[in-house]
Amino acid sequence: MQKAYEVLRTVFGHTSFKGQQEEIITHICAGNHALVLMPTGGGKSLCYQIPALVRPGVAIVISPLIALMQDQVQSLRDLGVQAAFLNSTLSWHETQEVEQALRQGTIDLLYIAPERLTSPRTLELLKSLPIALFAIDEAHCVAQWGHDFRPEYLGLSMLAEHWPQVPRVALTATANAQTRQEIAHRLGLEDAAQFVASFDRPNIFYQMVEKKNTKEQLWQWIQAEHPGDSGIIYARSRARVEDLSHYLQQRGVTAVPYHAGLSTAQRARHQALFLETPGVVVVATIAFGMGIDKPDVRYVAHIDLPRSIEGYYQETGRAGRDGQPASAWLAYGLQDAIQLHRMVAESPTQGAFRQQQAQHINAMLGLCETVHCRRQRLLAYFDESAEPCGYCDNCLSPGRQWEGTVPAQMLLSAIYRLWREHGQHFGATHLIAILRGRRTERVIQFGHQHLSVFGVGAQYSASQWRDMARQMLAQQLLRVDSQGYGTFLLTEQSRAVLQGKQSVWFNQKRRPVQSQHGHANPRPLDPQRAQAVSSG
């Protein structure tokens, strides 16, 4: 351990270990396997980087992000560590050089893509070398149950067969019991020690709002809570990313887009701007942020419903890594949930996997709709029990509920009748038109003005109906078809409601909740700087 301390101080420049680092490092240096679960910013890298330098031989780090390997290796080299990477971006000649260095034993840390590691050529090379350890970064990628499954990761099960004696360290910032179990199973780590840090990020304020006018809601929130702060905003599509970054630029925010449609050079420029200039906001599709170490991101916002709680938590975890107050803000709506279900239906996945994705969406929607503490619910998802935090929107402003069994029955019975009498399922818009008694073109075309449910729900506005439908979806009193039509179907639970055996409660709308962390140093917005950036 003396050696580990020395490396911590002299190589990485830190004076003490953080959290469970010391325990984990001692364990690995002694030649044991480990499964390490820590939230983003917890300090996972040192857990394998220090043993890599302490133990003889080369440490192999498996990472799914080719784009980031170069950065990671560069940072290590800057600290004087002998690090290299092997992936498809290297030329034949560069590959030869790395292989040569490996044979000479002059590399301590080798970053490698999983598909490269499992190639016969690499296996043969590694077999001839002393190996310090295998670190499997972003280990949740091996789990089909998880939100970020990568088929290339499946091949890693061979590590246990070929190198049973070499320590395997799996690390991830996101894994609930099911994902964790699958990681352990696939990597042969069933008997390995598990180090599970608390997933709580006490400095993050969580808030979730229903969509009305999303861009304006977001803009008002930024002005109220985070003017001039650095933030990341996630949106579902490139088009929405582009649209929102323009909108924010026009309002004086230094916002830059980040998505797969931009050139590599543009993306690199926007990322560098974000990392180096204070107050820059990146508007991105989900592809942005993994592996980026920027400690002072003050907020992460989602303008579309994320696909899973795991993904959401990983993304919001990029806020406030410095431990200072930070926010996670999310806007969600009925259309979001329907569209996500549609995307799952249209994806090439099959059977159980598809069902899991639908479950992930429902769990995420359930988190949005809960009236209880968000943090408690999030931590419960990661199998950690906690008291209500007193510091999320629901804790600060407990939502009220109202009994809505009658309107719920109206909607369910409309679905039921249309199916029984016409053999067809319909989406939200048409159902709401029927309930409100609107003679739309479609209603007339199908003759639905003659249904007994026509007009029975006229006292509720269309937006109130959408609200109820969304909450019924979250409560699983309804589901969306799995063929991608976006139509509503009944569930097991709908029957109890239709038969009057179960009552239905809805959350009342409420006004935006203010965080209580305030903002220590609000920076004024500077429209000119924003313009200069966006045109550059």
Residues forming the site for ligand ADP (CB under 6 A): 14, 17-18, 21, 38, 40-46, 293, 295
Cα distance between residue 109 and residue 61, in whole Å: 7
For residue 19, the minimal CB distance to ligand ADP (Å) is 8
Instruction: Determine contact, residues 72/44, Cβ cutoff 8 Å.
Output: no
**What percent helix, strand, coil does the chain show, rounded to 5?**
45, 15, 40
CA–CA distances in Å: residue 240 to residues 142, 169, 184, 453: 30, 39, 38, 37
For residue 271, the minimal CB distance to ligand ADP (Å) is 16
Query: Residue 14 binds which one of Zn ion, ligand ADP, none, with CB within 5 to 8 A depending on kind?
Result: ligand ADP
Main-chain dihedrals φ then ψ at residue 113, nearest 5 degrees: -80, 145
For residue 261, the minimal CB distance to ligand ADP (Å) is 28
Q: Comparing C-alpha atoms, which of 434, 462, 206 is closest to residue 334?
A: 462
At 486 the three-state DSSP class reads: coil
- Nearby residues of 199 by Cβ (< 8 Å), 6 or more positions away: 37, 39, 313, 378, 379, 382, 384
Main-chain dihedrals φ then ψ at residue 264, nearest 5 degrees: -55, -40
Q: What's the number of CA atoms in the CB half-sphere (13 Å) around residue 72?
A: 23
State which residue, 395 or 498, has the beta carbon closest to Zn ion. Answer: 395
For residue 519, the minimal CB distance to ligand ADP (Å) is 23
Sign of CA dihedral 225, 229, 234, 237: positive
For residue 358, the minimal CB distance to ligand ADP (Å) is 29
Instruction: Determine contact, residues 303/244, Cβ cutoff 8 Å.
Output: yes
Query: Residue 395 binds which one of ligand ADP, Zn ion, none, with CB within 5 to 8 A depending on kind?
Result: Zn ion
For residue 119, the minimal CB distance to ligand ADP (Å) is 27
Type of residue found at 146: G
For residue 317, the minimal CB distance to ligand ADP (Å) is 8
Sign of CA dihedral 215, 219, 225, 226: positive
State which residue, 380 or 462, has the beta carbon closest to Zn ion. Answer: 380
| Residues at the interface with Zn ion (CB under 5 A) | 373, 375, 389, 392, 395
Cα distance between residue 75 and residue 351, in whole Å: 43
For residue 173, the minimal CB distance to ligand ADP (Å) is 6
State which residue, 40 or 494, has the beta carbon closest to ligand ADP. Answer: 40
Q: Comparing C-alpha atoms, which of 191, 141, 196, 142 is closest to residue 167?
A: 191
For residue 17, the minimal CB distance to ligand ADP (Å) is 5
State which residue, 17 or 221, has the beta carbon closest to ligand ADP. Answer: 17
Query: Residue 43 binds which one of ligand ADP, Zn ion, none, with CB within 5 to 8 A depending on kind?
Result: ligand ADP
At 210 the three-state DSSP class reads: strand
State both tokens at 422. 């016409």
For residue 171, the minimal CB distance to ligand ADP (Å) is 8
What's 464's DSSP letter?
A: H
Bridge partners (DSSP) of residue 300 are 232, 328
- Nearby residues of 13 by Cβ (< 8 Å), 6 or more positions away: 79
State which residue, 143 or 171, has the beta carbon closest to ligand ADP. Answer: 171
For residue 233, the minimal CB distance to Zn ion (Å) is 23
Instruction: Determine contact, residues 63/172, Cβ cutoff 8 Å.
Output: no
- Nearby residues of 417 by Cβ (< 8 Å), 6 or more positions away: 451, 452, 453
State which residue, 388 or 437, has the beta carbon closest to Zn ion. Answer: 388
For residue 332, the minimal CB distance to Zn ion (Å) is 18
State which residue, 206 or 454, has the beta carbon closest to Zn ion. Answer: 206
Mode of pairing for the β-strands spanning 401-403 and 505-507: antiparallel
Query: Residue 41 binds which one of ligand ADP, Zn ion, none, with CB within 5 to 8 A depending on kind?
Result: ligand ADP
Q: How many other CB atoms are found less than 10 A from the CB of residue 299?
A: 27
Q: Comparing C-alpha atoms, which of 106, 118, 122, 135 is closest to residue 36?
A: 135
State which residue, 43 or 388, has the beta carbon closest to ligand ADP. Answer: 43
State which residue, 1 or 489, has the beta carbon closest to ligand ADP. Answer: 1
State which residue, 292 or 396, has the beta carbon closest to Zn ion. Answer: 396
Instruction: Determine contact, residues 259/284, Cβ cutoff 8 Å.
Output: yes
Instruction: Give ∠ CA 432-433-434 in degrees, rounded to 5.
Output: 90
Query: Residue 21 binds which one of Zn ion, ligand ADP, none, with CB within 5 to 8 A depending on kind?
Result: ligand ADP
State which residue, 146 or 404, has the beta carbon closest to ligand ADP. Answer: 146
State which residue, 151 or 295, has the beta carbon closest to ligand ADP. Answer: 295
